[in-house]
Structure 1
Amino acid sequence: MNQALSAFDAAAILIVLSAILGWINQRFLRLPGTVALTMMGAIASIIVVLIDHALPGSDLSGTVRRFLSGVDFHATLMDGMLSFLLFAGALHVDIDQLRKGRRQIAILATLGVITSTALVGLGFWGLTRSLGIEVPVIWCLVFGALISPTDPVAVMAVLKTARVPSGLQATIAGESLFNDGVGVVIFSILLATAVSGQSFSLIGAGELFLVEAVGGAVFGFVIGWIGYRAMKSIDDYSVEVMISLAVVMGGYSLASALHISGPVAMAVAGLLIGNRGVAEAMSDRTKDYLLKFWTLIDEVLNAVLFLLIGLEAIVVAQRWGLIGLGVLTIPLVLAARAVSVGVPLFAWRKLLPFRLTFPIMTWGGLRGGISIALALSLPASPIKDVLVAATYMVVLFSVLVQGGTIKAVIQRATGRGEGRAEPHG
């Protein structure tokens, strides 16, 4: 594998692999797409490592690692894919249902993430100390921040394949759309503290959080409204699709330059265009073209993202000693998720049936590419190796085990649920 692989060549390889593995899944396995591509990518990575062990002269794993190092996962996802994926996901969320559950979503996406960050961070600190691994508390909290947000890409993919009451679906989708933006902001604040070595300032962190998160929401509304008005003034499906692309690409780039949350901005812009724009600014022909275009973008990028997650197994395979830590981290993250959503859900049990909502939101809180991208963005150090290995094991379990069984969990929960879950504000 040529180390001087161009961006186009790397993209071509990933698309070809995604198409081949996607065909194999549809032809023979019939698993959820995200689960199948992650699983086959991970299996391919393991096979490559085993071949190298069986044939001493082979360096297949080195070749794959060089290819992966040429694909900057953090830049690819956070500065490329994420804007498209969040916008595409938000297009299909019913804003009326979202508005009914706005208080619940706001609390789950903010206080829920903060609570989970603290619980995972402190628990991970205790776990590493018990195993004789020295990781400072602030770096454990950084890990808590990067692993706490549920991945909207993974969650949306699961919701498409399972029957979930519309109100509960909007709550889950809304939380996953916004908690990743909140999580990225908290991660940035804690990482800056960890790298600088300065003491943590709660007031300073709160101010930065408000600027990034609230600023991102306001900015997303502004660019979404501009896109909506532009679409309403014309009737040409090709131009209107280009306007939606301009909102996503130009808006995300400008949000980054303004140091406000691009993920939050994309979620808000997607909600505005996907609801008011689709209802008032588009002809039936334009609506059909635009929604199908963004569905295709969503499917293609999903396939590439989860294949990349699977292939990253070859990087973690070089750190066998840390895999045990990663396995022990899985129940810690699940427990933190159960507490961070369980406490508020129990308080809202008259609005959202607890026996229905709690298992779905706990087991359906999937981690995905965002967590891996944030882990890989950490500065190189032995601590990074520890956090990357733990992150990968949690994400792999989340996508393969939780993603592979969530449909059964939903069916069981809805079978015994206390009616339909319709959140109220």
Structure 2
Amino acid sequence: MTLFQTVTILIVLTALGGYLNHRLLHLPPTIGLMAIALVSSLTLVALGETGVVEVHKYARFVPSIDFGDLVFHGFLAFLLFAGALHVDLADLYKVKWTVTILSTLGTIISTFVIGALFWCAAHSFGYDLRFIYALLFGALISPTDPIAVLGIIKKAGAPKDQETRITGESLFNDGVGAVIFLTILDIATGRSEPSIASVLWFFVQEALGGIALGWFLGWVVFQLFRKIDDYQVEVLLSIALCMGSYALADAIRMSGPIAVVVAGLFLGNSGRKPALSVPTQDYLGTFWQLIDEILNSLLFLLIGLEILAIKETGTYLILGLVGIACVLIGRGISVLIPIRIMSFVVSFPRGTITLLTWGGLRGALSIALAFLLPQGHQRELILTTTYIVVIFSILVQGLTFGPLLRKIVPLTEDN
């Protein structure tokens, strides 16, 4: 199957799924599409088990898509840039310490807590899971996925400070989580020595290097914006900044996700009003909003279809359900500790820990990281568990976050 045919199938399925969701389900677009794809995939699997349909013919289509590469070297750059472009830097600055500590210390705590809990759970089910692979699961599942979070939090109508905390953390902790995951993966596969100095240097090079590169490239494009007034050229420059910052960071061993987020933040705040005319601002905003919605729809459709790529079931599914509890406990602890520490100098509305814990959705990023693991039974175990956690996160947490928010918001307003 050619690339054009593959893209055509995905676009057609996305369009049909979006239409059905709009007419029948009335769910948030991303959740509705994933639910439709998930039900369709499960139906195919059930029909295949009964012999009614030769499901292997359909199952070959999904594994033909390199999900990890598609996310990391395709969708992620555009979705992070579009999300960062619409974040108000002034609002983000007000919660800078919360976002910074949660996306760094919180992600590290979550990695080790979830890893330890999952390792104990796996061994209790009789699986010989190496502890370092349990840590890999903790690292890949710890980041709250910005692709999932941004679309759902906006629809929920969260107070501005809470929305900024959740979205700001999700924009940055995916880059931190990816750095932690790749560091542990290098150690697990023997590509690097597990010394503290090498780990710290890798983290500094990836994270701080990504921040510096994104800020510099954003400033360069801002200077170009100031000298012209042509929306077509300026939209093209924004695409070049998005793709160029991510690709260059990736090529020189810096964090592409962090670089593209910082570039988007710079352009969306320093570059929009002083450098762009009002019509160009409208064109730019509309273009990136459309890109965000289309790619989000495609990605969540793929998440629903990915069940066809899972080869192991049985007790793997049971362990996946236990994995949900491990992730929620780990997320709660990773939020509770930093918030309690910061509460001595920063005041938080009541309900902050609950909202941050339940609003920490997992999505395509976690699945993409799981696909990077070496082939073997440990990979299949982690991939299956990751998929189950992501499905629960988006369908259950995503659909119930709004009601939970409406229950807590009156408390926060009274505080």
Could you say which TM-score interval applies, normalised by the shorter chain? over 0.9
1:34 aligns with 2:60: no
* In structure 2, distance between residues paired with 1:22 and 1:317: 28
* In structure 2, distance between residues paired with 1:64 and 1:113: 37
Q: Give the alignment of 1:103-252 within 5 angstroms.
A: 103-196=97-190, 200-252=194-246
* In structure 1, distance between residues paired with 2:152 and 2:167: 10
Shift of 1:188: 0.3
* In structure 2, distance between residues paired with 1:346 and 1:417: 17
Shift of 1:68: 1.1
Query: Which amino acid is the alignment partner of residue 332 of structure 1?
Result: C
Which whole-Å deviations, capped at 9, do the CAs of 1:364-408 have from their partners, x for residues lacking one?
000000000000111111110111011011001001100111111
Match of 1:258? 252
Query: Which amino acid is the alignment partner of residue 18 of structure 2?
Result: G
* In structure 1, distance between residues paired with 2:38 and 2:196: 40
Q: Is the Cα–Cα contact under 8 Å of residues 128 and 135 in structure 1 kept in the other structure? A: yes
> How big is the alpha-carbon RMSD for the aligned residues of Structure 1 and Structure 2?
1.4
Match of 1:368? 363
SS at match of 1:403: helix
Q: Is the Cα–Cα contact under 8 Å of residues 355 and 417 in structure 1 kept in the other structure? A: yes
1:279 aligns with 2:245: no
* In structure 1, distance between residues paired with 2:234 and 2:314: 50
1:66 aligns with 2:60: yes
**Runs of 5+ unmatched residues, structure 1:** 421-425
* In structure 2, distance between residues paired with 1:24 and 1:263: 33
Shift of 1:348: 3.5
Q: How many residues align?
A: 414
Query: Which amino acid is the alignment partner of residue 21 of structure 1?
Result: G
* In structure 2, distance between residues paired with 1:393 and 1:344: 27
Shift of 1:25: 0.9
- Mean CA deviation greater in 102-111 or 62-71: 62-71
Which whole-Å deviations, capped at 9, do the CAs of 1:33-90 have from their partners, x for residues lacking one?
121111111101110011112226x322x12321111111011000110000000000
1:391 aligns with 2:356: no
| Percent pairwise identity | 43
Shift of 1:198: 6.6
Match of 1:79? 73
Q: Is the Cα–Cα contact under 8 Å of residues 311 and 380 in structure 2 kept in the other structure? A: no
Q: Is the Cα–Cα contact under 8 Å of residues 322 and 390 in structure 1 kept in the other structure? A: yes
Change (3 A) 1:225 1:260: same
Query: Which amino acid is the alignment partner of residue 277 of structure 1?
Result: G
4+ runs deviating over 6 angstroms = none
TM-score by length of 1: 0.95
**Runs of 5+ unmatched residues, structure 2:** none
Match of 2:411? 416
Which whole-Å deviations, capped at 9, do the CAs of 1:11-46 have from their partners, x for residues lacking one?
111111111111111112111112111111110111
Change (3 A) 1:378 1:168: same
Match of 2:14? 18
Q: Is the Cα–Cα contact under 8 Å of residues 220 and 268 in structure 1 kept in the other structure? A: yes
Q: Is the Cα–Cα contact under 8 Å of residues 63 and 309 in structure 2 kept in the other structure? A: no
Change (3 A) 1:197 1:255: closer
Match of 1:403? 398
TM-score by length of 2: 0.97
Q: Is the Cα–Cα contact under 8 Å of residues 68 and 312 in structure 1 kept in the other structure? A: yes
Query: Which amino acid is the alignment partner of residue 3 of structure 2?
Result: A
- Mean CA deviation greater in 362-371 or 66-75: 66-75
Match of 1:333? 327
1:47 aligns with 2:11: no
Q: Is the Cα–Cα contact under 8 Å of residues 175 and 207 in structure 2 kept in the other structure? A: yes
